[in-house]
């Protein structure tokens, strides 16, 4: 498969896999699902620190740090709107038949931005995909149990699935966006740092670590380092 097509299709496939998982599992109570979430957070954090950070700091530029902090702050705002679905939580009214526009906006902007650095590194692509699967599963569970019609559910998931490939396409095809891509990548680093650390330290009851979770976290870090 051509590299470009691989970058565009894999994030869409991750949403489809998450949807299928939601049909058979209850993400909120599945220990296996929580371990997948912890693994994705560890892998994403390791790839961000080991590969994305050195990439944006290749040339000395004090502005990079500012944009990393802006990305972190932006993610805090987005999670306020999305109620935390990016790191395994979702607190919306399932009895409403109205499309959750703020949730869609938050997830779409997050997904759009995370698509920008994916043309450079397949390790990051794999980290985004692994992270997107549990997010898509949690989102699918909410949508399927809500009073939204099937058409709204389909349109919501389709729009969400297309945002990451759209970010990659914009970066690769719009000259002015490509020119400032390092600053966008710096913002993505801030976003990933917030999301991944929140997953690792808030996904367990009372912030505790058990042996299984510690094991998958170490595995995620090692895979990011060696692969």
Q: What does the DSSP assignment read for 59-106? A: S--THHHHHHHHHHHHHHHHHHHHTTGGGT-----TT--S--HHHHHH
Residue 91 has pLDDT above 70, yes or no: no
The whole-number pLDDT of residue 86 equals 64
Structure tokens at 181: 């891509």
Q: What is the 3-state secondary structure (H, E, C) of 118-184?
A: HHCCHHHHHHHHHHHHHHHHHHHHHHHHCCCCHHHHHHHHHHHHHHHHHHHHHHHHCHHHHHCHHHH
- Round the average pLDDT of the chain to a whole number and report it: 82
The whole-number pLDDT of residue 73 equals 95
Compare 163 and 83 and report the one with higher pLDDT.
163
Instruction: Report the range out of 22-31, 47-56, 87-96, 121-130 with the highest average pLDDT.
Output: 47-56
Compare 130 and 17 and report the one with higher pLDDT.
17
pLDDT tens digits along 191-219: 999 988 888 876 555 555 577 888 888 88
Mean pLDDT, residues 34-52 taken together: 87
The whole-number pLDDT of residue 68 equals 94
pLDDT tens digits along 137-175: 888 888 887 777 788 888 999 999 999 999 999 998 888
Residue 50 has pLDDT above 80, yes or no: yes
pTM for the full predicted model: 0.86
Domain boundaries, the chain: 3-226
């Amino acid at each position: 498969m051509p590299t470009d097509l691989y970058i565009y299709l894999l994030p869409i496939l991750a949403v489809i896999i998450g949807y299928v998982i939601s049909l058979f599992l209850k993400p909120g109570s599945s220990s296996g699902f929580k371990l997948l979430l912890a693994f994705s957070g560890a892998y994403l954090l390791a790839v961000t620190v080991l590969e994305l950070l050195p990439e944006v700091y290749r040339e000395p530029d004090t502005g990079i740090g500012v944009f990393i902090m802006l990305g972190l702050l932006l993610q805090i705002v987005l999670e306020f709107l999305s109620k935390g679905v990016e790191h395994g939580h979702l607190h919306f009214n399932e009895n409403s038949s109205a499309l959750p526009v703020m949730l869609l906006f938050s997830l779409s902007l997050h997904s759009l931005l995370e698509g920008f650095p994916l043309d450079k590194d397949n390790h990051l692509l794999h980290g985004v995909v692994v992270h997107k699967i549990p997010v898509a599963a949690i989102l699918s569970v909410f949508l399927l149990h809500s009073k939204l019609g099937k058409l709204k559910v389909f349109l919501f998931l389709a729009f969400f699935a297309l945002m990451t490939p759209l970010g990659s396409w914009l970066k690769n095809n719009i000259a002015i966006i490509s020119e400032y891509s390092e600053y966008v990548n710096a913002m993505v680093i801030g976003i990933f740092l917030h999301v991944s650390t929140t997953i690792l330290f808030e996904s367990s009851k009372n912030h505790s670590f058990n042996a299984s979770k510690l094991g998958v976290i170490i595995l995620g870090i090692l895979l990011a380092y060696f692969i």
